[in-house]
């Protein structure tokens, strides 16, 4: 049965006025001192916190974090309005128009209806092409590098430029690793940098072929490293010796013990 709840009544006026009050003379000194550039770290931080809340599948923190992301949108729109560039209403109107333009199967009675998600995606790509956007345009430079690399690879699939099988990507990994070793052997600093980048890019495509998110895989590896170092710290503290004072062989032994399932269980319980 079709959901009759067409729209949720939303009043953004109190939020917009609150931000305006914070930015006016006599408002908050910190808020008044901010500009687009100074707010970039906060936008990134709030976005990542929102992603964490989504992964946690907990509505209470998700509601709060969505509010924090919305605050950044309102903040930037207010600063732009003060510059005479645009305001929040222009942001909302532009987004609404773009959604309608890119979904003609829903909003245009003369358009052919989309029969599947693939049909809709094809129509969306056509709409982007009509807007003059290239096949690899619109991927943010500030996106985490592995995710950006994987996104480029996924875009290339659409025009048939991709490996056929994951094993083909593995062979390319071997090739890139050999080129990296050659650059290292020649002590070519720029070559090392370039070949390391090529290897990381190819590994991101391997993750894509395996149905994995390269950024999440790297994050999981980093978290695993964090947990193991903390286990080493606990062992060193129990022995009354700082990690920095231990010999390399002691650190290796502690690392091996930190990798054990028993150590992982202790970390989880702690």
Out of 188, 211, 234, pick the residue that ends a domain. Answer: 211
Cα–Cα dist 167/57, whole Å? 35
Cα–Cα dist 198/196, whole Å? 5
- DSSP one-letter code for 244: G
In contact, 16 and 60? CB cutoff 8 Å: no
- DSSP one-letter code for 112: P
Task: Indicate whether 64 belongs to any domain.
Answer: yes
Cβ contacts of 153-158, under 8 Å, gap ≥ 24: 153/204, 153/205, 153/208, 154/208, 158/125
> Residue 72's domain spans which residues?
13-101
The model's confidence at residue 260, banded by pLDDT at 50, 70 and 90, is confident
In contact, 74 and 16? CB cutoff 8 Å: yes
CATH classification at residue 87: 1.10.287.1080
Task: Indicate whether 122 belongs to any domain.
Answer: no
- If asked whether residues 68 and 20 sit together in one domain, one would say yes
What pLDDT does 103 receive?
84
Task: Indicate whether 1 belongs to any domain.
Answer: no
- Report how many domains make up the chain: 3
**Mean pLDDT across the stretch 193-200?**
96
Q: Is the pLDDT of residue 186 over 90?
A: yes
Q: Is the pLDDT of residue 160 over 80?
A: yes
Q: What is the pTM of this model?
A: 0.60
Cβ contacts of 13-19, under 8 Å, gap ≥ 24: 15/70, 15/74, 16/74, 16/78, 16/88, 19/71, 19/74, 19/75, 19/78
């Amino acid at each position: 049965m079709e959901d009759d709840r067409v729209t949720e009544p939303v009043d953004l006026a109190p939020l917009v006025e609150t931000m305006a009050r914070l930015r006016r003379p006599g408002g908050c000194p910190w808020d008044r001192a901010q500009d687009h550039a100074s707010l970039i770290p906060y936008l990134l931080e709030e976005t990542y916190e929102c992603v964490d809340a989504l992964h946690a599948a907990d509505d209470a923190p998700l509601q709060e974090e969505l509010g924090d992301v919305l605050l950044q949108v309102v903040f930037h729109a207010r600063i732009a309005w003060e510059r005479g560039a645009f305001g929040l209403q222009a942001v909302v109107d532009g987004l609404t128009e773009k959604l309608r333009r890119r979904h003609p199967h829903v909003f245009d009675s003369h358009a052919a209806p989309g029969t599947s998600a693939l049909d809709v995606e094809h129509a969306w790509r056509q709409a982007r092409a009509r807007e003059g956007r290239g096949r690899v345009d619109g991927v943010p430079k500030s996106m985490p590098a592995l995710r950006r690399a994987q996104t480029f690879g996924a875009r290339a699939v659409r025009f048939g430029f991709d490996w056929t099988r994951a094993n083909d990507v593995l062979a390319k990994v071997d090739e890139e690793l050999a080129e990296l070793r050659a650059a290292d052997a020649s002590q070519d600093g720029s070559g090392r940098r370039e070949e390391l980048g090529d290897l990381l890019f190819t590994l991101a495509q391997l993750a894509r072929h395996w149905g994995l998110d390269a950024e999440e895989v790297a994050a999981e590896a980093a978290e695993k490293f964090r947990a193991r170092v903390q286990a080493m710290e606990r062992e060193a503290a129990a022995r009354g010796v700082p990690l920095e004072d231990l010999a390399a062989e002691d650190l290796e032994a502690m690392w091996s013990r930190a990798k054990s399932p028993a150590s992982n269980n202790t970390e989880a319980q702690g």
